[in-house]
Amino acid sequence: MLPKIFLGPVIIRTFWLMAVLGVICAVAINNFLREKIPSLKTLENVPAPRQFAILAGMLFFFGIIGAKTADIIWRFPKYAANPWEIFGPKFISFGFLFSTIIITEVYCRIRKFDTLKTLDLIFFTFPVFQFFQRLGCFAKGCCFGTPTMSWVGINLTHSCRVMPKHPVPLYFMGLEILIFLIFLRLLRRPVKPGTIMFSYFALYCFGRFFIEFIRPEPNISLWLAISIPQVVCLELLILSCGFLWALNRPANPPPHNKT
């Protein structure tokens, strides 16, 4: 693991370095592919490449605030007992996702852009950002899963007394790569506004639901062996699939008048 990079007197935290690189790479790939993929090239009423880069920076800043706010809500009893722990390095990714939607909606209303098309543009390369963010988690040594003796396990302490753990950040990285490849396939033809965003939520929540089984999250109860993040995934998965069905359902044919 490499949580910090030392450049003389300068200390760079790897997680934040990877997060910033993720934003830069997501914007660069987005602006490049917009000129290569016909369904993106013909998008109208969306931010231009320079405007998109500025929007991405705003989303990153407010996304951190949203992720931290979600963490405070989730761990409120703990933080109420010890407020100084609020400033610890804990975030919740769903808070980042929801803040992305809210800030984009506000931005598009002010700049008179199409919100759904802009969100599709954002979530098209959002997996790239998430890939680098999870790479930062892996380098930091956080967000690992439950102990395992299988070949995939990684020993964070290099001690024979500590069992290896599931490298959950690597699983998330694989999930994000798969989602991005699906988007590249999906955008070979024009899609209705909102399809990419809801597809991201559906695919991400579907994959995360199963990954959560190997994360050390407490179950809701003894008889329901799933965690609260898994409940959130199921709810968002159902909602996303419902919106996708509503967006892409075939139109009813007009009634024929009998003569």
- Domain span at residue 100 reads 4-247
Query: Is 11 part of any domain?
Result: yes
In a domain, 257, yes or no: no
Q: Say if 13 falls within a structural domain.
A: yes
When mean pLDDT is compared across 41-45, 84-88, 98-102, the lowest value belongs to 84-88
Domain assignment of residue 220, yes or no: yes
Residues in Cβ contact with 15 at an 8 Å cutoff, skipping those fewer than 6 apart: 3, 89, 133, 136, 137, 139, 140, 142
Tell me if 239 is assigned to some domain: yes
Number of domains in the chain: 1
Asked if residue 130 belongs to a domain, the reply is yes
pLDDT, greater one: 7 or 60: 60
What average pLDDT does this structure show over 41-49? Answer: 91
Q: What is the pLDDT of residues 174-226, one digit of tens each?
A: 999 999 999 999 998 989 999 999 999 999 999 999 999 998 776 665 557 78
Q: Which residue has the higher pLDDT, 156 or 128?
A: 128
Residue 254 falls inside a structural domain = no
Residue 250 has pLDDT above 80, yes or no: no
**Model pTM score:** 0.89
Q: Per-residue confidence at 86, pLDDT binned at 50, 70, 90?
A: confident
Residue 259 lies in a domain: no
